[in-house]
Structure 1
Amino acid sequence: MENLFSRSVDPEIREALLNNDEASAAAVLQQYLQEQENIPLNIAVTGDTGSGKSTFVNTIRGVGDDAEGAAPTGVVETTKEVTPYPHPNFPNITLWDLPGIGTMKFPAAEYLKKVGFERFDFFIIVSADRFRENDVKLAKEIQRMEKKFYFVRSKIDNNIRDERRKRDFSEERTLKQIRDNCTQSLQDQGFRSSQVFLVSGFDPHLYDFPDLLRTLERELPEHKRDAFMLAMPNTSLEMIDRKKEAFQSKIKYVASLSAAVAGVPVPGISVAVDAVLLVSVFTRYVFGFGLNISSLKRLSKRTNIPYEELKKEIMSPLAATEITTNLILRILVQVASLPVLMAAEEVCRYIPILGIPLSMGFSFTFTYKALNFFLNVLAEDAKRVFEKTGLNSRE
C-alpha cells in the first residue's frame, strides 16, 4: 500500500494530468487501485462425502446452497474435480471445492499434487463426525509441506437439534462432548495439539465460526489479511468494527494520493480525479460491509427478512445503489465543510508560490474527511442491518 499511495504521482498519471487528459488519468488511477484490490487469496476446502464442505464454501462466499453459482451440495459426492468458486463481491478471493481424499484413490502426497497443492494459501479439512485416517494423513502431508490447515467439524446445528430433545440437554456440555470426541479421534491417530472448530454452515454467527474467521485472519500474511476479512460475511458486530478499522487504516494513503494529484498545476482536474478515487474506495466500503444490492438480497433470503425492510435500516445514499462520479459529487456538496474544502483547493491554485502546497493540503484534508465521514455512516448502516436480522440475539 505504501508504494501505491506514495506522495509522488506516477509519471503516467502526471503526464495525463499535465495534458489535461482527465479520462486517461482516471483510468490509470483506477488500474492502480484495482491492483491493490486484486491480491489473490486461494482457500482449499476438502472433506469426505457428505461432510458439508460445499455448504461451507457457499457460506464463506455469502451465497445460499440453491443460489446461482453456488457449490452443489447433496448427500452423495458432488465434487468430482477441483472446482474454483470466486467470491461474488471480491473475485480475487477464490474458494476451491476439492474432492474428498477418500474419493480419490491416491496417497495423501499424490492427492495434494493432483489437486494443485502449490496454488492454495491454506486448507480447511471438513468432517461431519469424527476425523478419520485419510483426514489425518492429509493434514500430516500438508504440515510436511509447510502449509497451514484447519480442522472444521460441520453440521453442529444438526447435533444440537438432536440433543435438544433430551430432558437434561445442555448446549455447553454437548459442544464440549463433540469437541473432545474430535480431538480424541485425532489423538488416537497420532495427531496432537490441533484445534477443532465447531461450525454450522447455516448459522455462521454461532459456535466457533467467528473464532475460525479470526484465526484465519490472524495467521494469514499481512498483505492478504485485510482482503480475507473484508470478504467474509458479517458474523458479529465485532466483525463489522474490524472491517471498519481495516478500511480506516488505509485512509491516510488514499488522502496522500489525492494530495499528490492536487500538486499537478491544472485547475479543475483534481476534484474530477478525486471523484473517481472516491467511487472506487466507497464501492469497496459498500461491498465490504455487505450493503450492495446483491449482498442485501442474499441476506434477505437467508434470514427471511424482506429486502425492503433491510433497506429501511440504511441511512447512507451510497448503499444499495450504483456508485457513480455524478452521485459522489452530488452527495459531497451536501456534507458540511466538504464544499468549502473543495473550493479552497481550487482557489489556492492561483496563489503564487504557496498555492500548490496549500492546494495539496486542502485536497488531503478534503479526501480524509470525506472517507472518514462515509466510512462511519456505512459502518453504522451495516450494524443496523445486522441487528435487524436478529442474528446478534442468537449468539
Structure 2
Amino acid sequence: MDNPLHSEFTEGIKEALQNNNQALAAAKIQEYLDQQNNTPLNIAITGETGSGKSTFVNAFRGIDNSDEKCARTDENTLEVISYPHPNYPNVTLWDLPGVGTTKFPADKYLELVGFEKFDFFIIISDTRFRENDVKLAQEIQKMGKKFYFVRSKIDNDLRAEERSQREFDEKKMIAQIRENCIQGLQQQGVESPKVFLVSSFKLQLHDFPLLHKTLERELPAHKRNALLLAMHDINLEIINKKKEAFQAEIKYLATLSAAVAAVPVTGLSVAVDVALLVGVVTKYVVGFGLYSSSLKSLAGSTGVPLKDLTAAIHLPLAVTKITPFLILKLLSQCVSTAASTAAEEESRYIPIIGIPAAMGLSFITTYRALSTFLNMLAEDADRVFTKALGLNTSV
C-alpha cells in the first residue's frame, strides 16, 4: 500500500519544479527527507524479570552488554526506561517492568506504562508464556495494538537438548519448542499467537529474520523505513532492501543539488554537493554496518577475525573517516563525474541557457556519484556478511 504522505510530497515537489520554483522544490524535498529519516518508531519490550528483555534490547540496538549505553542485564526493571537506537534516535526500544508486580498490576499495566505511545509490543519469555503474559496480550489486543511473543535464549535450550539426546535434530527440536509455545498460548485463550524463537547473541539465526519480515509487513508504510534502517544486516535480503531504500532517495538528493546549481555563485554548487555527499555516504556506511564498532561486534558474534571482515571491504570510505577531501579524491578518480563537475561550473555563465545547463549537469553528477558509492558500499556489505557467515552467495 502506498504511503499517502509520499504521494503528497511527490506532487508538491513536481508542482514546484513545473513552476520553475527551485527554492520551494528544495524546501519540500528537504522536508520529505527529514520526514523519512525522523519518523518515530517506539517498540515496547515486556516480560518477566530474567526473561532476557534487556539482552534483547541491546542486541536489537547493536550494543554489547558491556557498553555504557546498554540496558542493564544484571538488575530488575522497575520503571519504564527508554533506549534510543545509537544510530537512529527516532527508533526507541522501551524496557518495561514485568507485568503483575505490586507497582504494575496486570489490570492497570498498560495504563501505567503509557501504552498509547508504543507502535507494537514484544512479549518475551525464556521458558513458557505464563498467565500474566496472556492477560497482557489480551489487553493489548483490546487496545487495537499489535503484539508478538518472543521465546528468548533458544540457544541455551538447544545446547541442553543436544547434550541429553543421542540423535539430536536441531530443526525438529526448534519446531517442537515453537509448537509447544503456540499450543500453550492457545490453551490459555490466545487466538493464532505469533511466536518467534530468538537467540539475542545471534540474531541472524532462528526466527529473528521472520520476526523482522512480520513487523515490516504489519507496520504502517511510513514506519517501515525506520525499522529497516535500524535493523542489522541479518541476511542478504536486508542488505538489498536497504540499498533499494537508499536508491529511492537519490533522485531527491540530486534535485536538491540541481536547485543549488541555479544560484550563480562560483564554487557554491561544488561545495554544497561535496557536503551533501559526505553526509549521505556516511549514512550509507552506518546503514550497512561498515564502521568500526559494528564490524567488531559482528566479529565477536560470528567468531570471524576482524581483519578478515575488514579485508572484505574494497571501498576506503568504509574504514576511514569520511571527509570532503576523501570524497573529492574518489570523485577525481571517476573521470565522467569530474568532467561533469567542471562542465557545470563553466556552463553556468553561458548566456540564457547557462543556469538550466548547470542544473542538469549538477543533477547528473550527484545522481551518478551517489549511485556509484551506494553500489560499491552495498557490495562491501554483501562481502562482509558473506565472509562473516561463511556463505557462498550474493545479493
TM-score (ref. length: structure 1): 0.89
2:376 counterpart residue number: 377
Q: Quick one: distance in 2 between partners of 1:43 and 1:160?
A: 28
- Summarize deviations over 1:58-115 as a string: whole Å, max 9, x none: 11111122222111224xx521111111111212211111111133554445211211
**Following superposition of structure 1 onto structure 2, how do residues 238-253 of structure 1 map, counting pairs within 5 Å?**
238-253=237-252
Q: Is the 8 A contact 1:315 1:381 kept in 2?
A: yes
Q: Is the 8 A contact 2:100 2:106 kept in 1?
A: no
2:148 counterpart residue number: 150
Q: Is the 8 A contact 1:300 1:306 kept in 2?
A: yes
Letter in 2 for 1:136: V
Q: Is the 8 A contact 1:154 1:201 kept in 2?
A: yes
Letter in 2 for 1:64: D
Between the aligned residues of both structures, percent identity stands at 60
Instruction: Please state how far the C-alpha of 1:12 moved relative to its aligned partner.
Output: 12
Q: Is the 8 A contact 1:38 1:92 kept in 2?
A: yes
**Following superposition of structure 1 onto structure 2, how do residues 35-54 of structure 1 map, counting pairs within 5 Å?**
36-54=36-54
Q: Is the 8 A contact 2:202 2:301 kept in 1?
A: no
SS at match of 1:101: coil
- Summarize deviations over 1:264-307 as a string: whole Å, max 9, x none: 23232111111111112111100000012222222233334343
1:274 counterpart residue number: 273
Kindly indicate whether structure 1 or structure 2 has the higher relative contact order, using CA contacts under 8 Å at least 6 residues apart: 1
- Please list every run of 5 or more consecutive structure 2 residues that lacks an aligned counterpart in the other structure: 1-5
Residue 109 and residue 222 in structure 1: after superposition, are their counterparts in 2 closer, same or farther (change >3 A)?
Answer: farther
Residue 358 and residue 63 in structure 1: after superposition, are their counterparts in 2 closer, same or farther (change >3 A)?
Answer: same
**Following superposition of structure 1 onto structure 2, how do residues 286-305 of structure 1 map, counting pairs within 5 Å?**
286-305=285-304
Q: Is the 8 A contact 1:200 1:207 kept in 2?
A: yes
- Please list every run of 5 or more consecutive structure 1 residues that lacks an aligned counterpart in the other structure: 15-28
2:63 counterpart residue number: 63
- Aligned residues, how many? 378
Q: Quick one: distance in 2 between partners of 1:3 and 1:323?
A: 31
Residue 216 and residue 306 in structure 1: after superposition, are their counterparts in 2 closer, same or farther (change >3 A)?
Answer: same
1:121 counterpart residue number: 119
- Summarize deviations over 1:333-389 as a string: whole Å, max 9, x none: 112310011112112111222221111111111111111111111011111111222
Instruction: Please state how far the C-alpha of 1:196 moved relative to its aligned partner.
Output: 0.7
Q: Is the 8 A contact 1:41 1:228 kept in 2?
A: yes
SS at match of 2:320: coil
Instruction: Please state how far the C-alpha of 1:32 moved relative to its aligned partner.
Output: 8.2
Letter in 1 for 2:304: I
> Larger deviation: 2-11 or 341-350?
2-11
Select which of 97, 100, 117 maps to 2:98.
100
**Following superposition of structure 1 onto structure 2, how do residues 161-176 of structure 1 map, counting pairs within 5 Å?**
161-165=159-163, 166-176=165-175
> Larger deviation: 243-252 or 258-267?
258-267
- Say whether residues 1:193 and 2:195 are aligned partners: no
Question: What root-mean-square deviation, in Å, do the aligned CA atoms of Structure 1 and Structure 2 show?
Answer: 2.4
> Larger deviation: 299-308 or 86-95?
299-308
Instruction: Please state how far the C-alpha of 1:205 moved relative to its aligned partner.
Output: 0.8
1:386 counterpart residue number: 385
- Summarize deviations over 1:313-335 as a string: whole Å, max 9, x none: 11112112222222222221112
Letter in 1 for 2:87: N
Residue 32 and residue 292 in structure 1: after superposition, are their counterparts in 2 closer, same or farther (change >3 A)?
Answer: farther
TM-score (ref. length: structure 2): 0.89
SS at match of 2:201: coil
Q: Quick one: distance in 2 between partners of 1:311 and 1:36?
A: 31
- Summarize deviations over 1:98-145 as a string: whole Å, max 9, x none: 111133554445211211212211111111122111111111111111
1:318 counterpart residue number: 317
SS at match of 1:43: strand
Instruction: Please state how far the C-alpha of 1:35 moved relative to its aligned partner.
Output: 5.7
Q: Is the 8 A contact 1:104 1:111 kept in 2?
A: no
Letter in 1 for 2:71: A
2:351 counterpart residue number: 352
